[in-house]
Structure 1
Amino acid sequence: MALGIAYDGRCFNGWQTQPNGNTVQDYLEAALSQFTAEPISTICAGRTDTGVHGLAQVVHFDTQAERKLISWVRGVNALLPESIRVRWAQEVSADFHARFSATARTYVYIIRNEPNLAPSWVGRAGWDFHPLDLSAMQEAAQYLIGTHDFSAFRSSICQAASPIRTMEQLSIEQEGVFLIFTLKANAFLHHMVRNLVGALVYVGKGRFEPNWIKTLLEQRDRRFAAPTFMADGLYLVDVDYPAEIGLTSQAKFVASNAFQSLLQAL
């Protein structure tokens, strides 16, 4: 069984289960286990960190329970806190894997660029009060497109076997006081998005020229890059799967609506 999950990251210590139990995975598995009357263990498409939001997370799990698809949505939601919601449910083949079957993930990072962060956006958007040069950041972002060794942008505790990733898209747009970073890659390293945003913001502040990003890629050393940017404005907005899996149309519809709603809130 596969589910599409959305959650407000402000409420949780990230996705992955922890001893304190205050993670999205902990709450979801508890609700699923109660709903099915059997122990449930889930696998997700991307393990988000503390404070990171999910608009289109995908999970899969094995179960002997048989329910209508709408029951998986409404029944499990009735057992979840309001900050986590099942958006859709779909039966999948035994070889479907939420993480390894995915071909790409898309994240959006939102920054409010203003003197003081509006209270209503605390925990929902990143913030920087310095004037940021949009064109310089856009130029710098182009160095990150393609297949690269992203060692300079991975956490020291990253467990990925390889730092090689393929960045399909990295665009930056401005909407009033908001800067919207859209990043799509085959997969991301631990803290990779936040480290990339931090480096691009340094370029936007004028601390480095855009080609500094190229130098960081070549150095492959995290010590020379910018600090990890705050988690607040990071959203997992889409996960791509091969069309033959059958999730594409449903998941895309929900993900697109969720993303458009996010943009309308800006």
Structure 2
Amino acid sequence: MSDEVEPGFVRVRLDLAYDGGGFSGWAKQNRGQRTVQGEIEAALPVVMREQRSFELTVAGRTDAGVHARGQVAHVDLPRELWDEHGPHLLRRLAGKLPQDIRIWRISEAPAHFNARFSAIWRRYAYRVSDHPGGVDPLLRNHVLWHNWTLDLEAMNAAADRLLGEHDFAAFCKKREGATTIRTLQELRWERRPDGILEATVKADAFCHNMVRALVGAMLFVGDGHRPPEWAGKVLVAAVRDSSVQVVRPHGLTLEEVGYPADEQLAARNAEARNLRTLPRD
């Protein structure tokens, strides 16, 4: 996963969206499940009339059932293929890809761009309805129904205690060799005019299940099962709490990925690859 492009190749950025309901996540799998990466990587050689396959690198590997509106990926293509097919790729992929994946923009990436390591933040939204009658049937695949009335003020009070750089081990599924230290830049809830509660969750990066676990904890506060300060105590304990439920994936959408200025890409890539630790008192 190099930041340097091989001679004769060009790095291409793809901005895309998908409805995650029909996918076993982003990443290709060996068991034959349908994935977003698999669909795009299968379509690319076809629309370029090419025998070789080309591997995508993505900003955030979403889980099964999670949606994306502002996902970013890159792929390295031979210069001659890009020059010949680049101007036509957007329309051709629109005709080839299934309708639950759309690529909105295809462009030549600047030097040192890496869809994953260059990112400085990812922003997700999680949507919940606490209407006693349930969720609008037309939104049922994108909004979670919570069968308790939710206190917006209490949820935001709990969210405030989680902001900043912390070890989020209590809200993550631990992976061997990976850190659970993250900087949570934004976490807030608002009730939309249609009554749906929408969480905005923004961080430099997320560990596995982190957003869905954070939402689960705040719902437990919002429906009165725990006080707002409980979420902060769980965070400090840095171990998984059985009371923190990982909510279902269909309410979660990757909305946007942020990148620094072009001249800062190389430095950002190096920083993102460093294993983070918290400062000692």
Shorter-chain TM-score above 0.5: yes
- Name 1:79's counterpart in structure 2: 96
- 1:114-145 Cα offsets, whole Å, 9 max, x none, are 12223222221111020111100010000111
RMSD value, Cα: 1.8
Q: Classify the secondary structure of the residue corresponding to 1:232.
A: helix
Q: Could you tell me which amino acid in structure 2 is paired with residue 46 of structure 1?
A: G
Structure 2: 5+ residue stretches without partners = 1-11, 266-281
Structure 1: 5+ residue stretches without partners = 248-266
Once the two structures are aligned, what percentage of the paired residues are identical?
A: 39
Q: 2:181 aligns with which of 164, 167, 178?
A: 164
2: CA distance between counterparts of 1:153 and 1:103?
21
Residues 44 and 159 (structure 1), Cα distance of their counterparts in 2 relative to 1, 3 Å cut: farther
Residues 232 and 245 (structure 1), Cα distance of their counterparts in 2 relative to 1, 3 Å cut: farther
Listed as ranges, the matches of 1:200-211 within 5 Å are 200-211=218-229
1:21 deviation in Å?
3.9
Residues 211 and 49 (structure 1), Cα distance of their counterparts in 2 relative to 1, 3 Å cut: same
- Name 2:22's counterpart in structure 1: 11
- Name 1:23's counterpart in structure 2: 35
Instruction: Check the 8 A contact 1:9/1:52 in 2, yes or no.
Output: yes
Q: TM-score, normalised by structure 1?
A: 0.88
- Name 1:184's counterpart in structure 2: 202
1:132 aligns with 2:132: no
Q: 2:75 aligns with which of 39, 44, 61?
A: 61
Decide which structure has the larger Cα Rg and report it.
2
Q: Classify the secondary structure of the residue corresponding to 1:144.
A: coil
- Name 1:41's counterpart in structure 2: 55
- Name 1:142's counterpart in structure 2: 160
Q: 1:113 aligns with which of 115, 130, 146?
A: 130
- Name 2:233's counterpart in structure 1: 215
Q: 2:118 aligns with which of 93, 101, 121?
A: 101
Residues 70 and 144 (structure 1), Cα distance of their counterparts in 2 relative to 1, 3 Å cut: farther
Residues 79 and 159 (structure 1), Cα distance of their counterparts in 2 relative to 1, 3 Å cut: farther
2: CA distance between counterparts of 1:225 and 1:183?
21
1:160 deviation in Å?
6.3
Instruction: Check the 8 A contact 1:52/1:234 in 2, yes or no.
Output: yes
2: CA distance between counterparts of 1:246 and 1:235?
27
Q: Could you tell me which amino acid in structure 1 is paired with residue 40 of structure 2?
A: L
1:6 deviation in Å?
0.5
Residues 242 and 109 (structure 1), Cα distance of their counterparts in 2 relative to 1, 3 Å cut: same
Q: Classify the secondary structure of the residue corresponding to 2:156.
A: helix
Q: Could you tell me which amino acid in structure 2 is paired with residue 221 of structure 1?
A: V
1: CA distance between counterparts of 2:256 and 2:68?
9
1: CA distance between counterparts of 2:47 and 2:100?
18
Q: TM-score, normalised by structure 2?
A: 0.83
Residues 197 and 160 (structure 1), Cα distance of their counterparts in 2 relative to 1, 3 Å cut: farther
- 1:11-70 Cα offsets, whole Å, 9 max, x none, are 111101112140000001001122231211001000001111010110001111124654
Q: Classify the secondary structure of the residue corresponding to 1:86.
A: strand
Instruction: Check the 8 A contact 1:57/1:237 in 2, yes or no.
Output: yes
Q: Could you tell me which amino acid in structure 2 is paired with residue 56 of structure 1?
A: G
Q: Could you tell me which amino acid in structure 1 is paired with residue 146 of structure 2?
A: D
Instruction: Check the 8 A contact 1:216/1:225 in 2, yes or no.
Output: no
